[in-house]
Amino acid sequence: MVFKREGRKNDEPRKIIAKVGIIPRADGSAYFKIGNTEAYAAVYGPRTLFPRFKQDPTKGILRCNYNMMPFSGMGNRVRPGANRRAKEISMVTEKALLPVLDLVDYPNSVVDVFIELPQTDAGSRCAGICAASMALADAGLVMKDLVCSVGVGHIDNTLLVDLDYDEEAFDGVVADIPLAVIPRTGEYTLLQMDGIIGKEDLFKVMELGKKTIGMIYEAQKNALKEKYMIEPVIAKKTAQGGIKNE
């Protein structure tokens, strides 16, 4: 069986949608969708960490909780509750986000990020990282930059960006490589792989993913600008007496 991608180019991601400020009671929140994979992220904190023996007196800590809802997957039903995969993705999400966060002003505190996925079609950890990055910015935390994440890989020596579930399940030689990048510096904060790929092809497909990283970055920034460009206009009009009770 020979692989050929249908409907989009090999370096073309699925449709991207990004929004922030969607959960009113959270300190920061975001929604990120790529193709049929949807991720919601809610940030709470910084707040005092309990129990106290877990506190760090030099800085705050970041905790991420990744969760796929039971009927969110394209394959078998996801068992509710904590599992090994969810714990692993929660851990790598923390490590992907920590390099851009500055929590030294919040000793003995914790910032909690809850990531929920109601629907997935591959690339769930990447979508979760993108949503969490926007939610942290929406919460007003000091950040060096946003973090952008996307899956790349190859199928039968064809290099691809943003594999979907059918492509990951293709009956052939498949490699799926989730990565996360700090756009301004080009540093990688996540690089994992499921499958086998040669060294040269690995570097090529990482380079291929840069275009999509740029697209995700623009979508993230536009979502934040859209929220914070509207609010000052309303405030200004209210001060002038033109609009009240907005």
Strand pairing report for 37-48 and 109-119: antiparallel
How confident is the model over 94-124, as pLDDT tens digits? Answer: 999 999 999 999 999 999 999 999 999 999 9
Q: What is the mean pLDDT of residues 65-94?
A: 85
| ∠ Cα 38 178 197 (to 5°) | 140
How confident is the model over 177-211, as pLDDT tens digits? Answer: 999 999 999 999 999 999 999 999 999 999 999 99
How confident is the model over 208-218, as pLDDT tens digits? Answer: 999 999 999 99
Reply yes or no on whether the pLDDT at 239 is more than 80. Answer: no
Please give the backbone phi and psi of residue 132, each rounded to the nearest 5 degrees, phi first: -65, -40
Q: What is the mean pLDDT of residues 121-135?
A: 97
The alpha carbon torsion through 238, 242, 245, 246 (nearest 10 deg) reads -70
Determine the distance from the C-alpha atom of residue 103 to the mean position of all C-alpha atoms in its chain, rounded to a whole number: 20
Separation between Cα atoms, residue 131 and residue 63, nearest integer Å = 15
Q: What is the mean pLDDT of residues 121-145?
A: 97
Separation between Cα atoms, residue 241 and residue 134, nearest integer Å = 33
Residue 116: Cβ-neighbour burial (10 angstroms; 0-12, 13-18, 19+): middle
Which domains are assigned to the chain? 16-239 (3.30.230.70)
The 3-class SS string of 145-169 reads CCCEEEEEEEECCEEEECCCHHHHC
Please give the backbone phi and psi of residue 52, each rounded to the nearest 5 degrees, phi first: -65, -25
| Average pLDDT of the chain to the nearest whole number | 90
Reply yes or no on whether the pLDDT at 166 is more than 60. Answer: yes
Q: Is the separation of the CB atoms in 45 and 59 below 8 Å? A: no
H or E stretch covering 72: none
Reply yes or no on whether the pLDDT at 158 is more than 50. Answer: yes
pLDDT-above-70 percentage for the chain: 90
Token pair of 215 as six digits: 């697209």
Separation between Cα atoms, residue 215 and residue 206, nearest integer Å = 15
Phi-psi map region of 44: left, alpha, beta (phi>0 left; psi -120 to 50 alpha): beta
More confident residue, 66 or 231: 66
Buried b / exposed e over 160-185, threshold 16 CB at 10 Å, is bbbbbbebbeeeeebbbbbbbbbbee
Determine the distance from the C-alpha atom of residue 18 to the mean position of all C-alpha atoms in its chain, rounded to a whole number: 10
Q: Is the separation of the CB atoms in 44 and 110 below 8 Å? A: no
Q: Give the pLDDT band of residue 245 (cuts 50, 70, 90).
A: very low
More confident residue, 5 or 76: 5
Structure confidence at residue 6 (pLDDT): 81
How confident is the model over 36-47, as pLDDT tens digits? Answer: 999 999 999 999
